[in-house]
Amino acid sequence: MEKIELEIVALSHSITQSNSYAVILGEVNGLRRLPIVIGGFEAQAIAVALENMHPSRPLTHDLMKNFMTAFGIQLQEVYICDLQEGIFYSKLVCFTANDTIEIDSRTSDAIALAVRFGCPIYVYSNILEQAGLANESADKSMLSTTMNEPTPINDLSNLSLIELNHLLKEVLEQEDYIRAIDIRDEINKKNAQKKS
């Protein structure tokens, strides 16, 4: 069965399920998108790795990567291998000097580890045909905010740099890394405005 490489296109709040997020995977060199609903913890784990943030203590996925690396296990690829009743199933393809094994994984965990290892994410073509969206405009209907848009919870543009830095410290202490990205972006925007 043909495997198609995907990349992370967006990470957002899901409008289809409350207290959930959606990761949008896009076909490399193609237009199809695959939206996957994930939990808040997994969304934060993916966001932290994508934004190259370094929490004061390792998150679970960082611990897993450190553990695997310490024992000479590399993550070669992850692939989405099945879709049953709206639930995606994935495999981690791991190798050591002596062996290659596939390990069952939740798709959100597989993606979080793939980002940390810098390895490719694949999906079987039949799954992309079944659950994928045909064009870029279709996936926008799944999103309420993307990683590059401000979170509508608070209007960050009305806060001063001092208030933003204080708020950033608070959300980092709460390990709300998705919100921290928005605050950091607003701080960078205000700093750039000060320089010009």
- Whether residues 123 and 168 share a domain: the answer is no
- Whether residues 22 and 59 share a domain: the answer is yes
Neighbours of 41 (CB within 10 A): 16
Q: Is 7's pLDDT higher than 90?
A: yes
Angle between helices 40-50 and 107-117 (to 10 degrees): 10
Q: How far apart are CA 178 and CA 82, in angstroms?
A: 28
- The helix/strand/coil state of 92 is strand
> Quick one: pLDDT at residue 17?
62
Q: How far apart are CA 26 and CA 24, in angstroms?
A: 6
> Quick one: pLDDT at residue 116?
96
Q: Is 157's pLDDT higher than 60?
A: yes
Higher pLDDT: 152 or 21? It is 21
> Quick one: pLDDT at residue 148?
39
Query: What average pLDDT does the segment 36-51 reach?
Result: 89
- Whether residues 128 and 32 share a domain: the answer is yes
151 lies in some domain: no
Q: Which residue has the tokens 């190798």?
A: 95
- Whether residues 99 and 166 share a domain: the answer is no
27 lies in some domain: yes
Identify the H or E element spanning 128: helix 125-131
- Whether residues 136 and 161 share a domain: the answer is no
Query: What average pLDDT does the segment 88-114 reach?
Result: 96
- Whether residues 108 and 172 share a domain: the answer is no
- Whether residues 26 and 94 share a domain: the answer is yes
- The helix/strand/coil state of 38 is strand
> Quick one: pLDDT at residue 176?
73
Domain containing 170 equals: 156-195
> Quick one: pLDDT at residue 146?
41
Query: What average pLDDT does the segment 18-26 reach?
Result: 83
Confidence of residue 15 (pLDDT cuts 50, 70, 90): low
Q: The CATH number of the domain where 132 resides is what?
A: 3.10.690.10
- Whether residues 183 and 93 share a domain: the answer is no
146 lies in some domain: no
- Whether residues 55 and 131 share a domain: the answer is yes
136 lies in some domain: yes
- Strand order of the sheet with strand 87-95? 33-38, 21-27, 3-13, 121-124, 74-84, 87-95, 100-106
Task: Look at the chain and report how many structural domains it folds into.
Answer: 2
